[in-house]
Structure 1
């Protein structure tokens, strides 16, 4: 293999495929990136952690075809540090490659290309087209609520529940749940679960894509997302996702309408004294036309007051401030509704009109003196 290209083009491509490189493996080949020259002066870069695989194709000047696997970390670091000029890469004997750029020259050891895992093909059973901006927003507004504990099984993923008229994305971790809906005409109904970690990497790649519509091809175990010169193959999570509609409370005893920004800023200030060892506890006291938000620690106390419109009972309830803040930071509505049943029942955060989102947050028990 022998080719030349610009430093900027190669560095950008490496940044994309590196998102599929894992450090949590004992297999050296999975810590690498496959470089493969194809016809018509094309270089295909591939990386895989077996759950997520990314291929990126760029235009280079090929003198000699070939393929080799290089250390993702070392090769990317070298290319990133080289001057913004033409880079020459030459595959030599014993799986070594020579990298030249202006006055710099590196020789590094690679691995045989035939040891790299086959990313494989997806037998198309269904296809889905989603507007990029819609998918980006849905991921941003739900993925944070998925569990980060790998032992929790399917709830490390985000459910995509696709009906003929809308797409609903759901994530939960046992302490909170995020549900977001977007109207969309679909040809078929489909339910699939994708690891939140993978969706977040896809979101980063979409930010660099100029395409307005994302194509997704599905079979029972895998999905392929195609964007410009990038192909992403991902493993779908298997199992039955929790019936989220059964979790959402249907009634309430206390309903509050308030300004989201005022509420967010008040909780951010109150959480400065919320102790992490005590569940970042902030207490809401809802009475009349105001909500008092308080927090205390050995270092002091804080009291914030937010004006509200209330319907129903007065209430005192405690929350982990982080879980409430995570919701308020992704919601963009100026006014929101909070619905409560009791001091030990979850709070539901929803829009004043429609059902575009519903967030459920479990309370923290407040110690009684």
Structure 2
């Protein structure tokens, strides 16, 4: 195998496939990057079995071949080389030589035929979504996945295609995030994708309206972005019936400027870091929310102007849960709907109708 490639293009390819290499494997081959030089490009693959990422990089192929190289040391070498063309060739005794200007590295490689093959996916069940929309949907939901490993299904995001709509839903028992977008497709499917996978997909997606193709099978999902493919195992099991968790009615509605509420909560939460529940209290009056927190660190009082419909109420929340929601929104004004101090609060847009967030309050002994 002999090929010549621009340093920056090779480094970008390595950075993409390294996202799938966790280093937590009992198979040494999976600590490496698979490199296949053929035609006019090189194919790079990184995998931890659950997630595999493949990307193609333009190169001048002088002799075809394939090898697997330790991802960590290979990435570090390429990163430190001068910004120039890099020549990589296989030598005797299972070694490769990396040459760039006056730098020459000799490095051992592993046999490519020992690298696990990527699963073959039937391309029938397929949808297309603009990259920027999917990237935003992932950012708007993955913060609400469960960190608790006792319920693995909640460590994923429900990916639901139904009634010409793509819905992403995440929940962890304390909050729920739902984002939906119109989709011109008659497919009806729901799968649960590991949150870890979606976060890596989000890093690779670009803020462009170019489509990403998404293919489903019973066990896997494939994201196809032109030169890069991401294949992930799906989580097994039935996701929670999220629709039954969303209240159908409310008695109190609060309209508030999103940034003012976020700023107030961020300041109030500075005093809420004592303990694990980041507790802040909301006294909702006719025209203001009074945010307060009282801990061993000290106490704080903040006022935020609102428009209230319904009765006054006192309610408390984990401030981090509210901030996670508000930080994911671009809207100027949001609406908070609630019924009592012990029932869920729904956060939605005043203008946009394509998301819902549910946050459970914290019971406070008064």
TM range (shorter): over 0.9
Distance 2:352 2:7 in 1: 49
SS at match of 2:185: coil
Superposed displacement of residue 318, structure 1: 1.0
Distance 1:294 1:348 in 2: 21
Cross-structure match for 2:344: 346
Conserved? CA contact 2:274–2:296, under 8 Å = no
Conserved? CA contact 1:211–1:227, under 8 Å = no
Conserved? CA contact 2:163–2:188, under 8 Å = yes
Cross-structure match for 1:164: 163
Conserved? CA contact 2:336–2:346, under 8 Å = yes
Distance 2:276 2:105 in 1: 53
SS at match of 2:151: helix
Cross-structure match for 1:24: 24
Distance 2:204 2:294 in 1: 42
Per-residue CA distance 1:152-188 (angstroms, 9 max, x = gap): 2111111111123211110011111001111222121
Superposed displacement of residue 353, structure 1: 4.2
Superposed displacement of residue 295, structure 1: 0.8
Q: Does 1:296 align with 2:294?
A: yes
Number of aligned residue pairs: 366
Q: Does 1:42 align with 2:41?
A: yes
Structure 1 residues 276 and 221 mapped into 2: Cα distance closer, same or farther (>3 Å)? farther
Cross-structure match for 1:2: 2
- Structure 2 gaps, min length 5: none
Distance 1:284 1:269 in 2: 13
Conserved? CA contact 2:289–2:303, under 8 Å = yes
Instruction: Give the one of 221, 231, 234 matched to 1:233.
Output: 231
Q: Does 1:323 align with 2:321?
A: yes
After superposition, residues 1-369 of structure 1 pair within 5 angstroms as 1-38=1-38, 40-207=39-206, 212-353=210-351, 355-368=353-366
Per-residue CA distance 1:262-295 (angstroms, 9 max, x = gap): 0000001101111251411111011221110001
Distance 1:204 1:353 in 2: 28
Superposed displacement of residue 123, structure 1: 2.1
Distance 1:53 1:211 in 2: 24
Per-residue CA distance 1:171-228 (angstroms, 9 max, x = gap): 01111100111122212111121111111111111128x6701111221111222112
SS at match of 2:231: strand
Distance 2:275 2:298 in 1: 16
Superposed displacement of residue 92, structure 1: 1.9
Distance 1:186 1:276 in 2: 49
Distance 1:271 1:261 in 2: 15
Question: Please, what is the CA RMSD of the aligned residues?
Answer: 1.5
What TM-score do you get using the length of structure 1 for normalisation?
Answer: 0.95
Per-residue CA distance 1:66-120 (angstroms, 9 max, x = gap): 1111111110011011000111111122321111111111111221111111112
Distance 1:149 1:142 in 2: 17
Structure 1 residues 148 and 92 mapped into 2: Cα distance closer, same or farther (>3 Å)? farther
Distance 2:286 2:228 in 1: 56
SS at match of 1:277: coil
Structure 1 range deviating more: 350-359 or 281-290: 350-359
Distance 1:82 1:124 in 2: 40
SS at match of 1:237: coil
Structure 1 range deviating more: 255-264 or 338-347: 338-347
SS at match of 1:246: helix
- Structure 1 gaps, min length 5: none
Superposed displacement of residue 253, structure 1: 2.5
Conserved? CA contact 1:68–1:95, under 8 Å = no
Conserved? CA contact 1:345–1:363, under 8 Å = yes
